[in-house]
Structure 1
């Protein structure tokens, strides 16, 4: 990879960390039926995978999660610290780290390129950024909250409409930015 492209990817990774921080300034919406709020930050995680691919997208999300782990209050509601990884949201946060990697690998596996239909990208982002995160989050929630797995999975259905909307927005934004900046994403 050319040094110019590497520099561009590092700058984009830093910008994605900043976007994740900004999305965290918006308060989460408590749902009442589940101890995990509805947040916009997972859309930033999907953007990281679409814009930066496996390597740089995972690095950006990993840096963000490291800052949260170290105690910076960067999550919605001003949460941060190692304890948030042990609470009800911990599984979702851990799953976020793998989303850019999965998006990149699935795009490479199915040879999805920028010129392909956005439906291909939406399907991949939906699987990696919505289904994967919700299943891992439900597994953690069931274990952490001592509730049956079936209850945790069913309670996660409340996230699906909003998460699908965020996935659609992430794909539209990703495709637009890639075209405007003429990005060469290595998935």
Structure 2
């Protein structure tokens, strides 16, 4: 049992490193919204799919703590408390909630032998992508003094890329789960 927990903690640290690496790629600004297109949200989805609710939350929390304490781990080399108060703060907070919600749903589906490829993808899109976009929009609305409707509509621009990232995270997670060292983690 101790060996299994050590394995899970090691994988959580590794996924934290993956989240940091995905931040090396700069965000793509859209111009009409102060939130760029980034790859790190795909990392949060992948982390959750591989590690589940508990260790996915741990990995994401560690990553966000590094960002909060000022390490430049967020896309574009950003970090620090001010980032959490800026327009992207709601998305960062959503990243912390996604592993708990998405991981729990995926676990339930797996327990009931219903974790088909399509159902996993739909669950990732709803409990991952939409949760991030809705919480991010609520904070963006408050922080940027725009209507919630405007903030939600501006997030429609993210949906095509988010659907691609969700699909890639499901494909990667399903392939990585077949690796003997990762079997039994989720």
Q: Which bracket does the TM-score occupy, shorter chain normalised?
A: over 0.9
1:142 aligns with 141
Q: 1:184 to 1:114 in 2, by over 3 A?
A: farther
Instruction: Tell me how large the CA RMSD over aligned residues is.
Output: 1.5
Deviation at 1:112, TM superposition (A): 5.7
TM-score where L is the length of structure 2: 0.95
Between 77-86 and 120-129, report the one with greater CA deviation: 120-129
| Aligned match of 1:21 | 20
For the residue of structure 2 that corresponds to 1:25, the secondary structure is coil
Correspondence list, 1:109-128, <5 A:
109-111=108-110, 116-128=115-127
User: 1:138-169: CA deviations, max 9, x gaps?
Assistant: 00000000000000000000000101100000
Aligned counterpart, 1:48: 47
* C-alpha distance 113-80 of structure 1, shift in aligned 2 (>3 A): farther
For the residue of structure 1 that corresponds to 2:17, the secondary structure is helix
Moved over 4 A (4+): 112-115
Partner SS state of residue 75, structure 1: coil
CA-CA distance at 1:185 after TM superposition: 3.3
Q: What are the superposed Cα offsets for residues 29-63 of structure 1, whole Å, 9 maximum, x if unpaired?
A: 00001100000000110011100001000000000
Structure 2 CA distance for aligned equivalents of residues 52 and 5 of structure 1: 12
Unaligned runs of 5+ in 2: none
CA distance in 2, matches of 1:158, 1:116: 29
- The alignment partner of 2:177 has SS state of helix
CA deviation vs aligned residue, 1:12-34 (integer Å, no higher than 9, x gap): 10110100110000000000011
Flag the 1:142–1:13 CA change in 2: closer, same or farther, 3 A: same
Q: Counterpart of 1:171?
A: 170
Matching residue of 2:72: 73
Please give the alpha-carbon distance, in whole angstroms, between the structure 2 residues aligned to 1:158 and 1:136.
Answer: 16
Native 8 Å contact 2:49 2:103 kept in 1: yes
Number of aligned residues: 185
Q: Which residue of 1 aligns with 2:6?
A: 7
Residue pair 1:112, 1:121 contacting (<8 A) in 2 also: no
Q: What SS is found at the alignment partner of 2:31?
A: coil
Q: By how many angstroms is 1:99 displaced?
A: 0.9
**TM-score normalized by structure 1?**
0.94
Deviates most, 111-120 or 45-54: 111-120
